Structure 1
Amino acid sequence: MSMINQMDIEEFDAEWITLIMSARKMGLSMEDIRAFLRSPFQPKKYAHNTTENDPCMSP
C-alpha cells in the first residue's frame, strides 16, 4: 500500500502547477516542458536512498 495520502497528492499537484506556470511564464511551450521531462538526461531514480553509488559522496 502506498504511503502517499490525499494531502501529499494535493501538495504535489500544487507544486507541479506552480512549476509548469513558472516555465510557461519563462516562455517555454508545453512541448518544451514535455521534452525536458522525457529527456534521457534527467537524474535517475534510485530504489534506495543511499550514497554508496554517488560519485560526489566518494572519499
Structure 2
Amino acid sequence: MSMLNQMKTEEFDAEWMNLIISARKLGLTLEDIRAFLRSPYQPMKNPHLTTANNTCTSS
C-alpha cells in the first residue's frame, strides 16, 4: 500500500471512529448503528446537491 493510500485509510478510519464514538455518546447501541447502516432507506447521494443550494442548510 502506498504512503498516500495508507494516510487516506487512516484518515477514513479516524472519521468512522469519531462517528461511532459520537453515536455511542448519544446512547445508540452498536446494534442500533448496524441497523441504521443496513437500512434500505438511506438517503441517496446527489452530486448536484451541495450545501450552497440546499435549502435545509442554507441561511
Sort the TM-score into its range (normalised by shorter chain): 0.5 to 0.7
Distance in structure 2 (CA, Å) of the matches to 1:5 and 1:15: 15
Alignment of 1:43 onto 2:16: no
Question: Sequence identity of aligned pairs in percent?
Answer: 67
Note the aligned Cα RMSD (angstroms): 2.1
Q: Which runs of no fewer than 5 residues in structure 2 stay unpaired? A: 50-59
Cα deviation, 1:9-51, whole Å, max 9, x if unaligned, reads: 00000000000000000000000000000000113468xx5x4
TM-score (norm 2): 0.66
Q: In the alignment, which residue of structure 1 is the partner of 2:17?
A: 17
Unmatched tracts of structure 1, length 5 or more = 55-59
**Are 2:14 and 1:8 aligned?**
no
* Count of matched residue positions in the alignment of Structure 1 and Structure 2: 47
Give the TM-score taking structure 1 as reference length: 0.66
